[in-house]
Amino acid sequence: MIDVTTILTDYGYISLFVTSFLASTILPLGSEGLVALMVIDKFNIYSVVIVASVANFLGACTSYYIGFTGRGLVINKYMRISDEQIQRVERGFEKYGGISLLFTWLPGIGDAIAVAGGLLRYNFAQFTVFVFIGKAFRYMLVAYVASQY
């Protein structure tokens, strides 16, 4: 039988980084459960939040780059972001501007927001600020809730 605690102890932060990165790119993964498990298992809460936030942010940067280069096949086939989702996000950008990037953490549409940022050639420096704030806020919230148990 596999002991999850041993795996976390040996590979915890690496697993968290990989899972958080992939959760923000092409795979339909969630990293919140691993964040909660690590906090409950008494990993350093600040380290968990930082690792998850940075990795998830870097995944969003990858999505931005894919949008920036206009790789439609990757967007439609592998990321499974429809043209309709992109159009909806573009309308959100027109209406709310960069503030919409705070919501890249949302399931289902978050990847589309990051891709649309690239497609629209949104200023990368501003992209990084809004996206990192949104990602960090989500992981702080998850870690806080998990720490209550």
- 22-50 pLDDT, tens per residue? 988 866 778 898 999 999 989 999 999 99
Running DSSP on this structure, what letter comes out for residue 63? H
Q: What is the mean pLDDT of residues 48-65?
A: 96
**35 and 42 Cβ atoms separated by less than 8 Å:** no
- Tens of pLDDT along 93-109? 888 888 999 998 887 77
Using pLDDT thresholds of 50, 70 and 90, give the confidence band for residue 131. very high
- Residue 1 pLDDT exceeds 60: no
Distance separating alpha carbons of residues 106 and 34, to the nearest angstrom: 17
Using pLDDT thresholds of 50, 70 and 90, give the confidence band for residue 6. low
> Which range is least confidently modeled, 6-10, 80-84, 137-141?
6-10
* Helix 110-119 / helix 124-147 crossing angle, nearest 10 deg: 170
Cα angle for residues 134, 138, 142 (degrees, 5° grid)? 170
The mean pLDDT value of the chain amounts to: 86
> Which range is least confidently modeled, 57-66, 68-77, 91-100, 108-117?
68-77
Quote the tokens at residue 133. Answer: 């704030």
pLDDT for 26: 64
Distance separating alpha carbons of residues 74 and 67, to the nearest angstrom: 9
pLDDT for 44: 95
Which residues, at least 6 apart from 73, have a Cβ–Cβ distance to it below 8 Å?
A: none
pLDDT for 106: 85
145 — phi, psi (to 5°)?
Answer: -60, -45
Q: What is the mean pLDDT of residues 65-80?
A: 76
